[in-house]
Amino acid sequence: MLTRRLLPVPVLALAAPRLARAQFPDRAITMIVPYAPGGSADVMARVIAPEMARVLGQSVVVEQRAGAGGHVGAAYVAQSARADGYTLLVGSVAHATGPSLQTLSYDPVTGLTPLGGIGTVPMMVLVAPNSPHRSIADLIAAARARPGEVSYGSSGLGTGSHLAGELLAAATDTQMLHVPYRGSGAVYPDLISQRLTFLPDAMGSAAGQVRAGAVRALGVSSAERSPIFPEVPTIAEQGVPGYEFSIWLGFFVRAGTPPEAFSRLEEANRIAMATPAVQERLRQTSSIAIPTDAVGFAAYYRAEVARWAELARSGRVRRIDG
């Protein structure tokens, strides 16, 4: 007589977890901003996060972990956060310069995986409204007349504002005094009171200060004038030919993030970046597009790492003693 045979218990046991496994994401995602509130990374994160949340069907919570020029938050993602896709990093140019210019507790290249780009933003060189310096040429002349006395503030060692100042000093063969702060917002009171000579700040966070008349813009670091500040000349056209510098932002996850989670996050970023709200914010900051897909952004990031390594080898930028 024929009898029915049941599946062996081990086969059923293996099948059950696959049926029960939740689709990514099944809880909130944390977006780490490794800089102080109010800066370009924070501003962009708070516009992009809700758009990504709509795509993913889960909350995207922005969390500040500032310090060490963006490396405290990045080290947390690369070393402490789980590689499960539930923690995103808003990375920047500092995570391409760090391997060549600083001694870090982690390796951004091997510890993080590029997910997708946000954009690249030019800098503005700012002075107090009543500063005697009316142009970049004035700053350069003062630096040559009084080596080490012309000072500039930055968001911290290794940040975009620091590197912009370093490149300006190197390009003009002058000595300028770098004064690091904890975020660009902390620099403005000393700049406005003229305890500092100038500040290179990202256009995203500088634009409001310029429009309000709190500071005056001497130049922009892009190759061409900004369409939103056409009256402000480039640094290159003011006696520093070839000078060009911008800070870029993009998303990273911890290396080893599962492919299904990585793919969903990449898709969410691409869709979010194309929304009217995000595009308008990018336009307001004169941001230039960079690849939003993972493959394109990874190539962009590797090229940036290589570029800064070459600048360090050639002596055009110095190592940062942090």
- The total number of structural domains in the chain stands at 2
For residue 86, give Cα distances in angstroms to 27, 66, 81.
8, 19, 8
CATH of the domain at 258: 3.40.190.150
Specify the DSSP class assigned to residue 198. B
pLDDT band at residue 8 using 50, 70 and 90 as cut-offs: very low
Q: Closest Cα partner for 247 from 24, 57, 30, 70?
A: 70
Residue 193 backbone phi and psi in degrees, to 5: -85, 0
Regarding whether 179 and 80 lie in a shared domain, the answer is no
Q: Which of residues 212, 238, 264 is at a domain's end?
A: 238
The torsion angle over the Cα atoms of residues 312, 313, 314 and 315, rounded to 10 degrees, is 50
Residue 7 lies in a domain: no
The confidence band for 9, taking pLDDT boundaries of 50, 70 and 90, is: very low
C-alpha separations of 25 from 29, 30, 64 in Å: 8, 12, 22
Furthest-apart CA atoms within the chain: distance in Å: 107
Do 145 and 280 belong together in one domain? no
Domain-located, residue 194: yes
Residues 6+ apart with CB under 8 A from 207: 124, 228, 229, 284, 285
Last residue within a domain, chosen from 214, 238, 262: 238
pTM score, whole prediction? 0.82
- Return d(Cα 222, Cα 242) in angstroms, integer: 10
CA distances from 299 to 34, 294, 296 (A): 22, 9, 5
Does 130 share its domain with 116? Answer: no
Shared domain for 134 and 223, answered yes or no, is yes
| pLDDT for position 21 | 53
Mean local confidence (pLDDT), 123-128: 97
Does any domain span residue 304? Answer: yes
Residues 153, 228, single domain; the answer is yes
212 and 126 in a common domain: yes
- Written as six digits, the tokens of 123 are 């800098």
Whether 13 maps to a domain, the answer reads no
Interval 70-89 mean pLDDT = 97
Residues 255 and 291 in one domain: yes
Question: Does residue 272 lie in a domain region?
Answer: yes
319, part of any domain: no
Per residue in 296-307, pLDDT tens?
999 999 999 998
Instruction: Verify that 231 and 201 share a domain, yes or no.
Output: yes
Q: Do 251 and 114 share a structural domain?
A: yes
Helix (H) or strand (E) holding 127: strand 112-127
Question: Does residue 21 lie in a domain region?
Answer: no
pLDDT at 230 over 70: yes
Residue 147 belongs to domain with CATH number? 3.40.190.10
Of 238, 262, 278, the residue that ends a domain is: 238
The DSSP code for 313 is H
Structural domain includes residue 165: yes
Same domain membership, residue 115 and residue 129: no
Q: Domain of 33?
A: 27-120+247-314
Q: Which of 284, 263, 298, 294 is nearest to 55 (CA)?
A: 263
Picking from 66, 143, 71, 122, the residue whose alpha carbon sits closest to that of residue 101 is: 71
